[in-house]
Structure 1
Amino acid sequence: MAGSILIVDDVATNRIVLKAKLSGARYTTLQAADGRAALALAMTEKPGLILLDTNLPDMRGSEVIARLRAEPETRRIPVIAMTVHDDPALRIELLKAGANEILTKPFDELVLLARLRSLLRAHASADETALRALTCHELGFAESFHDFAPPARIALIAHRPERALHWKAALARCLPTERIQVLSGDMPLDDPRAGEVPDIFVIEADLARNGDGLRLMSELRSRAVTRDSVIAIATVRTARETQATALDLGADELLPCDLSGPAAQEAALRLRAQLGQKRLRDRLRVSVDEGLRLAMVDPLTGLYNRRYANAHLARMSQRARRTGRASVVMVLDLDRFKRVNDSYGHRAGDHVLTAFAKALRANLRGADLIARIGGEEFLVVLPDTTLDDGYRTAERLRRAIETQSIRLPSGENISITLSIGLALGGTRDTDPQHLVDEADAALLNAKATGRNQVAVAQTSNAA
């Protein structure tokens, strides 16, 4: 079951306790008592994440993970390994097999749930990017790649320079081909020179003041040039609240502040795994961005065009029917747009359309599909979204456009309004084009009842 969590433990009491904790956090669970049952369930149910006890009666935990990673259908499922003893050799074995995280029993519930949220978010984002790349491939616009990858650039930022230098020496022994450098915590966040953006930042949670490292991470996430870099936060092992907060704020990895002994090898394995995932994401992103630039993107607004939207909407609908997750389809139209062209000229009209497209990007998520499907008509698809959330998003868009003043090339300022029609998909077996037609009918209703409003398809209200 997509989105569920598979609990694998041969002790029934342990499974019951974990299920209770996860159910309290509103997660759906599956259970298996041994490795073979876990592999079978993973193949048939495609869980969103696996919690794997490493002391199973039929096979080692590392073998279960290795088999999961060997199958295309299960290789991307996040795995948290649960161990009884904090054995460095076992941790290395599990990480080499492909574990995403290792927790020692009894583990801290706060950190466990934060790690679950972090891995599930990353998994969903990777799935969406892979889905878009697959759409490109099926349409014949996939980009080819070479296996060669240049050395990674790893930036280390610690409160005390001597600690950062210790990290550098420890990691350099385990990652000899990568470029590792020490940076200052007060470094400028202006755009780095081309080719010098760090692939990975390792940041101590507490720099000059408690929490400064987390604030720096938030700044890096907000900058376009560093948004896609891997960020690992270094903390002391007992800083449970800091660890949970770091994960919820977007940290990709947690490392100990002390990288002495086996901890350095474990940290290097974690960073190497994160680097591999980043490079895959980068390749998929290039496959989408470059492969579709001319054939699948509207040249005026830079949004996807109708051809791409139809193909991607069909694939999103297939996934929604398979997983049972709702999605919302919006058709948007600028009110009385012809008056803009008639009064100010087509150049001004083009300027309004590009400003509107920019506003859509600024107010929607990266996973949302945005396309221009007509002159002043646009399509938006919100995956994994309920009708109520979709309506709130539509209202937020409508208000944002209504209050926006657009400066034309002539120097004049104008305002425009927006009408939106909504339809709900994924809860019933509906043809993707029929969903668009339903949203379009709702749009006509919004126009007929006064414009500058959001209307919901009658079938969606009934659902």
Structure 2
Amino acid sequence: MPGSILIVDDVATNRIVLKAKLTGARYNTLQAASAAEALALAAAQRPGLILLDVTLPDMTGEGLIARLRVNPRTRRIPIIAMTGRDTPELRVTLLQAGANEVLAKPFDELVLLARLRSLIRAHVGDEDSALREQTCRELGFAEAASDFVPLARIALIAPNPAEGLRWKSALAPLLTTNRILLTSYDQPCGDDPTRRAPDLFVIGADLAHRGDGLRLMSELRSHPETRHAAILIASQPDARETQASALDLGADDLLPAEMSTPLAAKEAALRIGAQLRRKRLSDQLRLSVDEGLRLALVDPLTGLHNRRYVNAHLSRMSERARRTGHGYAVMLLDLDRFKSVNDTYGHGAGDEVLASIARHLRQSLRDVDLIGRIGGEEFLVALPDSSLVEGCRISERLRREIAQSKITLPDGRAMQVTISIGLAFGGTRHDDPQHLIDEADAALLCAKGSGRNQVSLAQHTNAA
């Protein structure tokens, strides 16, 4: 279930209409009729997103946004500002205050829902990165962030060279600490392969052919050197389906195709600057976490987290589950008759089997899922913000896929192995996560005792 959305509007009818739209899209909602109520609810409940009308009886919209941005408990929550008077001046003011998006009433439902999905998805990723960095910091392995801010590289890929020059002329005076490049569909990173890839791309939705920009974005997301770059799609104001598709395909933000007026250029520069700051923070967190994990918290054979990291991160996951009320599933996976693999094929073959299982788990699970090797042939998987039904489905899928896979050994021979899985669900009890691990361990013993190659559910698994 997606995270809750806080609706802030002093008109009850508006709140009811929005709640109906969001409930139909399977979102949980909270409601506030004033800025004071919104500040209290946002700090207490920490929703996944805030939909905020800028006309409130007790505070201006930009004032409320600014207050939300200075509170440590609410500063990362995405904010969509809603207004009945959509002027360029107001859009710039709200973006400067910290809004992620400004939408005019009445809403285009297609774009609204796509924007919600995009912002919530980004927020979940940012929160997970921050959670992992906090875990490393508490364990003493995170490095302090550097004060040095490198020159950002921004690639503009416009429908034609003349349009690209107009974009660059409009943006360059507002983005003086960045290097702006004019690149192309065929060479999106420029013509010098020795240069690092751009940090941010601005891509026209329609280039030589309709939809070329979206196809190029998908290609950039698939390449290691550009998959972490920020991507903004420039489109015409009435291209609603294109805008919604761009957001669902992974665009970080949208820009107007026409940026020649001073206010349009300023809005575009504000959006670009926000995405560069987000990317810079994300890069710092990722590098800090990656280096810390590589040095001390990763199993060298499989590349998975080791028991030390797993225990620390599960504690953070349980704290979040108790705060949000969203539980998580814990799986303990054990290779069946692994000793016979070592005895028959040798320890080199056993190592390859373990590494192969680890690769399969990484490829089959989400980035936010926790995967660790906690014993000789025992693995742990934790699925945050999941349900018992999802945990059962994923456990059975992993068991089936591994049983059907062939593993090539160092000597060229192929073999197959099976796993037994113990599954527990919960995460909101005060004795979690150890309580969940114990339940999953008992379920694993049951799976082993019942013939192996199966999933067993903990008897006392709770959903509370």
TM-score greater than 0.5 by the shorter chain: yes
- Cross-structure match for 2:199: 199
Residue number in structure 2 paired with 1:228: 228
Which residue in 1 is equivalent to 2:157? 157
Q: CA deviation at 1:427?
A: 5.5
Q: Is the 8 A contact 1:334 1:416 kept in 2?
A: yes
* Corresponding residue number in structure 2 for 1:105: 105
* Structure 1 residue 313: Cα displacement: 0.6
Cα pair 1:317 1:425 within 8 Å, conserved: no
Find the aligned partners of 1:389 and 1:227 in 2 and give their Cα distance.
Answer: 28
Contiguous gaps of at least 5 residues in structure 1: none
Say if 1:143 and 1:286, in contact at 8 Å, map to a contact too.
Answer: no
| Cα 1:311–1:461 shift into 2, 3 Å | closer
Which residue of structure 1 aligns with residue 324 of structure 2? 323
Between 214-223 and 359-368, report the one with greater CA deviation: 214-223
User: In the alignment, is the contact (CA less than 8 A) between 2:155 and 2:189 conserved in 1?
Assistant: no
Counterparts of 1:450 and 1:36, CA distance in 2: 59
Deviation by residue 1:53-75 (Cα, 9 ceiling, x = unmatched): 11222221111111111111111
Separation (CA, whole Å) in 2 of partners of 1:341 and 1:229: 44
TM-score (norm 2): 0.95
Shift of 1:10: 2.0
For the pair 1:128 / 2:136, whether they are aligned, the reply is no
In the alignment, what sits opposite 1:352? 353
SS in 2 for 1:325: coil
Q: Tell me the amino acid that sits aligned with residue 174 of structure 1.
A: L
Structure 1 residue 405 corresponds to structure 2 residue 415 = no
Structure 2 partner of 1:243:
243
Compare 362-371 and 351-360 and name the one that shifted more. 351-360
Equivalent position of 1:284 in the other structure: 285
What letter matches 2:322 in structure 1? Answer: R
Q: Label 1:461 to 1:318 Cα distance change in 2 as closer, same or farther (>3 A).
A: closer
1:26 is aligned to 2:29 = no
Post-superposition Cα deviations, 1:315-353, rounded to whole Å, max 9, x if no partner, equal 111211221112110001111211221122112211221
Q: Distance in 2 between matches of 1:101 and 1:112?
A: 10
Counterpart Cα distance in 2 of 1:195 and 1:314: 42
SS of equivalent to 2:320:
helix
Q: Partners of 2:139 and 2:188 in 1: how far apart? A: 42
Deviates more, 1:14-23 or 1:321-330: 14-23
Could you tell me which amino acid in structure 2 is paired with residue 110 of structure 1? L
Shift of 1:446: 1.7
CA distance in 2, matches of 1:43, 1:22: 21
AA aligned to 2:445 is L
The offset of 1:224, in angstroms, is 2.2
**Do the aligned partners of 2:327 and 2:463 also contact (CA within 8 Å) in 1?**
no
- 2:415 counterpart residue number: 414
> Could you tell me how far 1:207 is from its partner in structure 2?
2.2
Task: Quote the residue 2:41 is aligned against.
Answer: 41
Q: Secondary structure at the match of 2:201?
A: strand
Letter in 2 for 1:16: I
Deviation at 1:26, TM superposition (A): 2.1
Distance (Å, rounded) in 1 between the aligned partners of 2:188 and 2:24: 43
Contact 2:78 2:119 in 1 (8 A): yes
The alpha carbon displacement at 1:450 in A equals 2.2
Whether contact under 8 Å (1:159, 1:185) holds in the other structure is: no
Counting aligned pairs with the same residue, the percent is 66
- 1:141 aligns to what SS in structure 2? coil
In structure 2, the partner of 1:172 is 172
- 1:16 to partner: Cα distance: 1.9
Aligned residue number for residue 145 of structure 1: 145
Contact 2:9 / 2:34 at 8 angstroms: preserved in 1?
A: yes
The CA distance in 1 between the partners of 2:419 and 2:310, in whole Å, is 20
Aligned to 2:275: 274
Q: Give the SS at the match of 1:293.
A: helix
State how far apart, in whole Å, the 2-side matches of 1:381 and 1:193 are.
Answer: 40
In 2, the alpha carbon distance for the partners of 1:17 and 1:461 equals 35
CA distance in structure 1 between the aligned counterparts of 2:240 and 2:419, rounded to whole angstroms = 47
* Aligned mates of 2:194, 2:291 — CA distance in 1: 18
SS in 2 for 1:459: coil
- Return the TM-score normalized by structure 1: 0.95
The within-5 A match list for 1:9-20 is 9-20=9-20
Q: Per-residue displacement from partner, 1:251-297 (whole Å, max 9, x unpaired)?
A: 11011111111111101100100111111111111221112222211
Superposed displacement of residue 195, structure 1:
5.8
